[in-house]
Amino acid sequence: MLVASDVSKWVKDGQRRREVLRGVSLEVSAGEFVVIVGPSGSGKTTLLGVLGGMLLPSSGEVRLEGEAVSRLRDEHRAEVRRRKVGYLFQDLALIPGMTVLENVALPLLPDGVTGAAAEARCLAALARLGVEGRAGDRVDGLSGGERQRVALARALVGSPSLLLLDEPTAHLDAERAASLLEALGSFAQEGKALVVASHDPRVIEAPQVHRRLRLADGALQPR
């Protein structure tokens, strides 16, 4: 499903070049739930961005379902990302002033899915996470846990084959975190590949997780 080969990423830091990722190689199969663990600043969020085609690697290659997304032009890469990748941002990136339904429908607009068809898909995604009753409410009035689940519904609405989740339990209490992990496990059972960045022990130790990879100073550490 997903292959990263010797991926590095560096950024300008004043007059210096700082390496955020160093020679990362990994493979994730369909139906696999992988957690990337590591301290703050280790490169977890950058790695998710590169794996999902939102960031280009400085060197190395990322292939999604056999397609070298790291080599595509911006427009084509955005199309592949929209069709195949669902992303949950650490800050959730919901649009204030818009309803839950409007936020979840955003990934469908570029493909021309609107009206009743879009509403049905959005409500189905929200129902899987138990927040379909808030569909008509503005996201500004939601609790942190509700916002988290709405953002995850938006990641799911396009039926992606790969889910990339950045700290998905950050705003959830113990009960909601356990419920979310059960849902993530069911997504893996359906054949989706999941890569989750987290430092939450509830995620790292969850029985639904198949593999745990440690990232430190931008490099994967030997197990």
Q: Which domains does the chain have, with CATH numbers?
A: 2-220 (3.40.50.300)
Distance of alpha carbon 212 from alpha carbon 195, whole angstroms: 10
Spans of the chain below 50 pLDDT: none
Cβ-Cβ contacts under 8 Å for 137 (sequence gap 6 or more): 99, 100
pLDDT at position 76: 85
List, for residues 124-159, the tens digit of each pLDDT value: 999 988 899 999 999 999 988 889 889 999 999 999
Dihedral sign for Cα 195, 52, 68, 30, please: positive
Cβ-Cβ contacts under 8 Å for 36 (sequence gap 6 or more): 44, 47, 48, 195, 196, 197, 198, 213, 214, 215
pLDDT at position 110: 87
pLDDT at position 155: 94
